[in-house]
Homo-oligomer: A and B are copies of this chain.
Protein backbone atom coordinates (compact mmCIF):
# COMPACT_ATOMS: atom_id res chain seq x y z
CA UNK A 1 0.00 0.00 0.00
CA UNK A 2 1.56 3.29 -1.13
CA UNK A 3 1.46 5.94 1.61
CA UNK A 4 3.61 8.73 0.12
CA UNK A 5 5.43 9.74 -3.05
CA UNK A 6 7.31 12.61 -4.64
CA UNK A 7 8.93 12.84 -8.06
CA UNK A 8 11.74 10.38 -7.27
CA UNK A 9 10.58 8.13 -4.44
CA UNK A 10 7.61 6.38 -2.94
CA UNK A 11 6.95 4.68 0.37
CA UNK A 12 4.86 1.57 0.91
CA UNK A 13 3.60 -0.03 4.09
CA UNK A 14 4.88 -3.60 4.27
CA UNK A 15 2.26 -6.23 5.09
CA UNK A 16 3.33 -7.02 8.66
CA UNK A 17 2.06 -6.31 12.18
CA UNK A 18 5.26 -4.40 12.99
CA UNK A 19 5.73 -0.80 11.82
CA UNK A 20 7.54 -1.69 8.59
CA UNK A 21 7.92 0.60 5.59
CA UNK A 22 9.60 0.18 2.23
CA UNK A 23 11.22 3.06 0.36
CA UNK A 24 11.56 2.70 -3.44
CA UNK A 25 13.23 4.88 -6.05
CA UNK A 26 10.88 5.51 -8.97
CA UNK A 27 13.67 4.99 -11.46
CA UNK A 28 14.76 1.38 -11.13
CA UNK A 29 18.39 1.06 -10.04
CA UNK A 30 19.86 -2.33 -9.32
CA UNK A 31 22.46 -1.15 -6.81
CA UNK A 32 22.69 1.80 -4.42
CA UNK A 33 25.93 3.01 -6.00
CA UNK A 34 24.05 3.57 -9.30
CA UNK A 35 21.73 6.22 -7.85
CA UNK A 36 22.68 9.80 -8.85
CA UNK A 37 24.32 11.64 -5.94
CA UNK A 38 21.63 14.27 -5.37
CA UNK A 39 18.91 11.63 -5.28
CA UNK A 40 20.97 9.45 -2.98
CA UNK A 41 21.41 12.27 -0.48
CA UNK A 42 17.65 12.85 -0.54
CA UNK A 43 17.09 9.12 -0.07
CA UNK A 44 19.23 9.09 3.09
CA UNK A 45 17.35 12.13 4.41
CA UNK A 46 14.07 10.28 3.91
CA UNK A 47 15.48 7.25 5.75
CA UNK A 48 16.48 9.51 8.67
CA UNK A 49 13.03 11.09 8.76
CA UNK A 50 11.34 7.69 8.81
CA UNK A 51 13.72 6.48 11.54
CA UNK A 52 13.23 9.55 13.74
CA UNK A 53 9.45 9.46 13.33
CA UNK A 54 9.32 5.75 14.21
CA UNK A 55 11.53 6.30 17.27
CA UNK A 56 9.44 9.22 18.50
CA UNK A 57 5.99 7.84 17.75
CA UNK A 58 6.39 4.16 18.53
CA UNK A 59 9.14 4.49 21.19
CA UNK A 60 10.88 1.70 19.29
CA UNK A 61 13.84 -0.02 20.94
CA UNK A 62 15.79 -0.12 17.67
CA UNK A 63 15.32 0.71 14.03
CA UNK A 64 16.41 -1.83 11.43
CA UNK A 65 17.33 -0.86 7.88
CA UNK A 66 18.09 -3.22 5.04
CA UNK A 67 18.54 -3.09 1.30
CA UNK A 68 18.63 -6.61 -0.16
CA UNK A 69 16.91 -6.84 -3.53
CA UNK A 70 17.74 -10.49 -4.13
CA UNK A 71 14.21 -11.44 -5.14
CA UNK A 72 13.33 -8.03 -6.62
CA UNK A 73 16.60 -6.73 -8.13
CA UNK A 74 15.88 -3.04 -7.76
CA UNK A 75 16.91 -0.73 -4.94
CA UNK A 76 14.39 -0.60 -2.11
CA UNK A 77 14.88 -0.14 1.61
CA UNK A 78 13.14 -1.90 4.47
CA UNK A 79 12.73 0.28 7.58
CA UNK A 80 11.40 -1.59 10.59
CA UNK A 81 10.63 -0.44 14.13
CA UNK A 82 11.79 -3.15 16.52
CA UNK A 83 10.75 -3.84 20.10
CA UNK A 84 12.42 -6.06 22.68
CA UNK A 85 9.24 -8.14 22.95
CA UNK A 86 8.40 -8.26 19.25
CA UNK A 87 8.04 -11.72 17.63
CA UNK A 88 11.60 -11.83 16.21
CA UNK A 89 13.72 -9.80 18.64
CA UNK A 90 16.73 -9.86 18.81
CA UNK A 91 16.80 -11.73 15.50
CA UNK A 92 16.05 -10.14 12.16
CA UNK A 93 12.49 -10.03 10.85
CA UNK A 94 13.57 -12.37 8.04
CA UNK A 95 14.09 -15.21 10.52
CA UNK A 96 11.53 -17.39 12.25
CA UNK A 97 9.55 -15.67 15.02
CA UNK A 98 10.50 -16.74 18.54
CA UNK A 99 7.30 -15.53 20.27
CA UNK A 100 3.71 -14.49 19.54
CA UNK A 101 2.82 -10.96 18.50
CA UNK A 102 1.62 -9.34 21.73
CA UNK A 103 2.54 -5.69 21.23
CA UNK A 104 -0.06 -2.99 21.65
CA UNK A 105 1.00 -0.37 19.15
CA UNK A 106 -0.61 3.02 18.54
CA UNK A 107 -2.50 3.74 15.31
CA UNK A 108 -0.58 3.41 12.05
CA UNK A 109 -2.83 6.07 10.48
CA UNK A 110 -1.63 8.71 12.95
CA UNK A 111 1.99 7.65 12.39
CA UNK A 112 1.49 7.88 8.63
CA UNK A 113 0.06 11.40 8.93
CA UNK A 114 2.95 12.55 11.13
CA UNK A 115 5.47 11.09 8.71
CA UNK A 116 3.87 12.55 5.61
CA UNK A 117 3.85 16.00 7.24
CA UNK A 118 7.62 15.77 7.78
CA UNK A 119 8.50 14.49 4.31
Where the two chains meet, the residues of A that have a C-beta atom closer than 8 Å to any C-beta of B are 30-33, 40-41, 44, 47-48, 51-52, 55, 62-71, 73, 82, 89-92, 94-95
Closest to A60 in B: B31
Report B-chain residues with C-beta under 8 Å of the C-beta of A51: 31-33
**Shortest beta-carbon distance from A66 to chain B in Å:** 4
Number of copies of this chain that the complex holds: 2
Cβ contact within 8 Å between A92 and B90 = no
Bound CA span A79–B90, Å? 20
Distance, CA A58 to CA B45, complexed state (A):
30
How far, in Å, is A4 (CB) from chain B's closest CB? Answer: 18
Cβ contacts A to B, 5 pairs, < 8 Å: A31-B62, A31-B63, A32-B51, A33-B48, A33-B63
A61 to chain B minimum Cβ distance, whole angstroms, is 8
Which B-chain residue is minimally distant from A70 (CB atoms)? B90
Known A-B contacts: A64-B66, A91-B94. Give 13 more (CB < 8 A).
A30-B62, A31-B62, A32-B65, A33-B52, A33-B63, A40-B44, A62-B73, A65-B67, A68-B92, A70-B90, A70-B91, A92-B92, A95-B95
List residues of chain B with CB within 8 A of the CB of A48: 32-33
